[in-house]
Amino acid sequence: MQFNSFVFIFAFLPGALAGYLLLRKTRFANAFMLAVSIYFYAQGALWYLAPLFFTALLDFFIGQKIEASTDRRYRRSLLVVSVVANLGLLSVFKYTTWLTVDMSRALAPFGIAMSPILIGLPPAISFYTFQSMSYTIDIYRGEFKPYRNIIDYMSFVCFFPHLVAGPIMRARDLLPQLAVRRPLPSAETVSNALLLILFGLFQKTVLADNFGLQVESIQRMMPGGGAELPAGMGLLFAYAFAFQIYCDFAAYTTIARGVARLFGVELMRNFLTPYFSTNPSEFWQRWHISLSTWLRDYLYIPLGGNQHGKLGTLRNLMLTMFLGGLWHGAGVFFIFWGLFHGLLLVIYRLVPIDAFLISRFGRTGRMLSTVLFFHLVCLGWIFFRATPEQFMPIMRSIAALPAVCLTALGAVLANWHGLAFVPALKSGIIQFLDVDRHFITHGWGFVLYAVPVWITDYVGYRAKAEFPDVLARLPWLARAVLVVVLIYGLQFFARREANEFIYFAF
Amino acid sequence: MSSSILPFRSWIAAVLILLVTESAVYSITHPNTYDRNNFLQFAFAHEETPQRAFIYDKIKAFADSHPTIVQSGDSSGFYGIEPSVVMRHLPPGVTYVNMSCCANLGYNGYYNILEFMLQHNPSIRYAVLHITPYTMPLRELWESDGAALWGTPDIKVFGDAVYQEYLGMWRIFHSPSLAYREQVTDLFYYQRNPFKDRPLMTNPDYLAFAQMFQRTLGWMPEDDVRNGVYAVECQVAMPNFFDIWTMRYKTYLQQILEAYAAMVRRYHAKLVVVFQPVACVVGTGAGTAEARAVIEQFKRDNPDVDIPFPLVSTWPAEMFSVPAHIRHEYTDRIGDRLGHAMAAIMARDGVAGPATASR
């Protein structure tokens, strides 16, 4: 079930909320939450429940066994079983199709016929396996005591607001909230939760989906993959996808946080104006925070973190980001994307470009390093979104843009006569329009939707928060006007074709 | 004000602003009900699906036209059946509206169009499902909205959108100002016109359609590229599924015919299923025998439904532009064929003219 559907907003959510409020003071509250979460998840297909239950139940019982045992070796072997089972399950569903398809292609020239194994990917498997694994790891480390009540535990794994696309909550943060009888959320909390949901819907359907339409339009210009893109379109592709994936994923978390608050549960923040980062370390503290902290706590630090010299640190960064890339998807380009970010982390550690720019040019330097790093992130998004066949046309299109700009500049300079600069500028613009109308048209479309993102994120950045947090602090009348603007924005500009959240596929 | 109401001041104020705005829009501009929906995209520099636009315009034009007979189905009827030709054979005053569109509307969509017309027009006595045996029921044409038709990603089945936008309960959220979505998006997207690039407006199919469909009661002459049609043995897709209600396998054809018959019956009208002639010939296999058996069984089980023509009526291949479309030169011939059949059905039912009383 999609958050951005009438059924969810006007039927499922009110129904779930009404049932929860009725049963809140009884011991059936979590059983009810579990039931509605299962119903929510099983809307796609019933079989999705099988891997979910397998992971959750296995870790529930392993958690108990680890806690009950004092034998270090036994505890460790139980942990290994949990990790291997979780990663094994994840790998089977996520990578089998990719590996066997690629293998069958690779073997075909040698006359070896191999049928690829095509396995459907249950939504959210990457999220709940990581979440479930952190439960057993925390118990193993002695940082968390297992819960004996299976309903409470299952409602933690399956809690519907964050089940499908996170944030990846740790058991120690979420389970204690779910296992107790929660007070009714205050009127203010409900009002703010509704604001989060409304803003999230706007982010998803108006912003993310329209950026997505641009991305698809540009991809359609390369039907066979090899077709050339007009100059600059590759840059727009990267920009549009950067904003699409940000708005899409942030929207999901924003709605999830709003929905959870209605049930008296606080989910962690997953984004904090990431495109204002000046370096990769800062970026990963602002982007998909629940995943980056998971990778830090359960992978980077156990690998040795920064405790084994410079070279060891760099190796650990690369390895962590490689696995982070692999977590995102089955494909060579996802691995490249992860390695690219690993490389950025390494480069910025060796040569702190942002620190140099800031110390040299102050605020201008900060702005420059933000712009530079944003473009590096965009470069990474090309790996993430483009198919291998589309990659080179996109890069060539980006490389062709300066020449077009220079031609236009040449036209300006050729017609520049003293103070009569207006005709000169006009001729330059006409020249540019003539050469690259596609770029201008799609650029305008991009700017239309990028402006609200820039404004809201800048406001959030200045306030060291996300925009919905700032929204909640506004005077009530200003909030009312913004609510009206958001509702009319949804009505007039939301993309009509149903579009899944991107991270449903991870 | 109570402390529990105070935090909702902004929401209450927003609702009041919305109510005042929408009331003003409604009372001042009287927007067309059939413009108040999300059926078309109106997205930036993005081509509308022409078939969606055909349906949008047809519904807007004929939703309350009070015909006696309404036709829905795939493009065989859209290009094939000219209502004026059919009406030549019918009693005076009987009107026929062609709401057919295209295969990517799907059987779900044909169904929704018929139900919509029946709901809005108690005058309808006959609901005609006009299809070609080349687009027999498949799973993606009945159950799976948004599915890529025939595996082609650009041709998506959109029949469910007809339900959502014209029949479903969520229509209560279609505010009066929604009727002005095209104007509002135009204003933002193409304000000074340099970026105006609505590709649909230059689509020749759509332009031709827009010029004539009101005059022709929904018909449009075929203008396909002639690639040649050859007479081969007919292949009729006949997929099935496991029906958990009856605990046995059932063909989609059977499922769909039963669903249509039940729905049309609810509106006290009569279902007429029409198969367009084809260039292919009946063979021994490839689904035709099974399809014919299903149809015969359905006729026995549903005597109130008329299926005036056999599944496969072979016409010369040169009469077709593509397998599913009769050439426009032969529109009269196919219209006469249906006109005669409808006249016979009406005579048998004792219907001498349009219904005067509502159902």
Query: Does the pLDDT value for residue B133 go beyond 70?
Result: yes
What is the b/e burial string over B312-322, where b = at least 16 CB atoms within 10 angstroms of the residue's CB? Answer: beebeeebbbb
Contact criterion met (CB below 8 Å) for A248 and A502: yes
Q: Is the dihedral of CA A223, A227, A233, A235 positive or negative?
A: positive
Distance between CA atoms of residues A112 and A97, nearest Å = 18
Q: Which two tokens stand for residue B157?
A: 């089945």
pLDDT tens for each residue of A303-324: 888 887 888 888 888 888 888 8
Distance between CA atoms of residues B276 and B324, nearest Å = 8
Distance between CA atoms of residues B92 and A424, nearest Å = 71
- Residue in A191, A441, A492 nearest the CB of B45: A441
Residue-level pLDDT at B188: 84
Mean pLDDT calculated for residue range A349-366: 91
Distance between CA atoms of residues B101 and B70, nearest Å = 13
Q: Determine how many CB atoms are found less than 10 A away from the CB of residue A451.
A: 10
> Nearest CA to B176 among B66, B344, B20?
B20
Polymer length of chain A? 506
Residue % of chain A over a pLDDT of 70: 93
pLDDT tens for each residue of B61-92: 999 999 999 999 999 999 999 999 999 999 99
Please indicate whether, in this complex, the C-beta atoms of A448 and B44 are within 8 angstroms of each other: yes
- How far is C-alpha A363 from the chain's CA centre? 29
Q: Please state the domain extents for chain B.
A: 1-30, 31-349
pLDDT tens for each residue of A78-121: 999 999 999 999 888 888 888 888 888 888 888 887 787 887 88
Mean pLDDT calculated for residue range B235-241: 79
Mean pLDDT calculated for residue range B109-115: 95
Does ipTM top 0.90? no
Q: Which two tokens stand for residue B178?
A: 């929604």
Mutation target to probe the B interface, by most B beta carbons within 10 A, among A206, A491, A500 is A491
Rounded to whole angstroms, what are the CA distances from A378 to A218, A342, A501, B286? 16, 15, 20, 52
Distance between CA atoms of residues B333 and B253, nearest Å = 27
Q: Which residues of A touch B39 (CB under 8 A)?
A: 496
Q: Which residues of B touch A498 (CB under 8 A)?
A: 146
What is the b/e burial string over A416-450, where b = at least 16 CB atoms within 10 angstroms of the residue's CB? Answer: eeeeeeeebeebbeebbeebbebbbbbbbbbeebb
Query: Does the pLDDT value for residue A447 go beyond 60?
Result: yes
- Residue in B5, B18, B188 nearest the CB of A487: B18
Between A243 and A105, residue with greater pLDDT? A243
Contact criterion met (CB below 8 Å) for B4 and B141: no
DSSP lists the bridge partners of residue B271 as B127
Contact criterion met (CB below 8 Å) for A369 and A279: yes
Phi-psi region of A221 (alpha: psi -120 to 50; beta: other; left: phi over 0): alpha
Please indicate whether, in this complex, the C-beta atoms of B10 and A479 are within 8 angstroms of each other: yes
- Residue in A191, A213, A479 nearest the CB of B43: A213
Q: Determine how many CB atoms are found less than 10 A away from the CB of residue B12.
A: 13
Query: Does the pLDDT value for residue B357 go beyond 70?
Result: no
Residue found by looking up tokens 């913004």 in the block: A482
Distance between CA atoms of residues A175 and A411, nearest Å = 65
Query: Does the pLDDT value for residue B194 go beyond 60?
Result: no
A368 Cβ contact partners less than 8 Å away, ≥ 6 residues apart: A357, A361
What is the set of active-site residues of A?
A: 328
Start-to-end CA distance of chain A, whole Å, equals: 16
Q: Which residues of B touch A479 (CB under 8 A)?
A: 10, 14
- Residue in B6, B17, B170 nearest the CB of A6: B170
pTM of the model: 0.86
Please indicate whether, in this complex, the C-beta atoms of B11 and A480 are within 8 angstroms of each other: yes
The nearest alpha carbon in chain B to A216 belongs to B46
Distance between CA atoms of residues A389 and A394, nearest Å = 10
Please indicate whether, in this complex, the C-beta atoms of A213 and B44 are within 8 angstroms of each other: yes
Q: Which residues of A touch B189 (CB under 8 A)?
A: 445, 448
Distance between CA atoms of residues A60 and A37, nearest Å = 18
Please indicate whether, in this complex, the C-beta atoms of A481 and B17 are within 8 angstroms of each other: yes
Q: How many CB pairs under 8 A join A and B?
A: 85
Query: Does the pLDDT value for residue A389 go beyond 50?
Result: yes
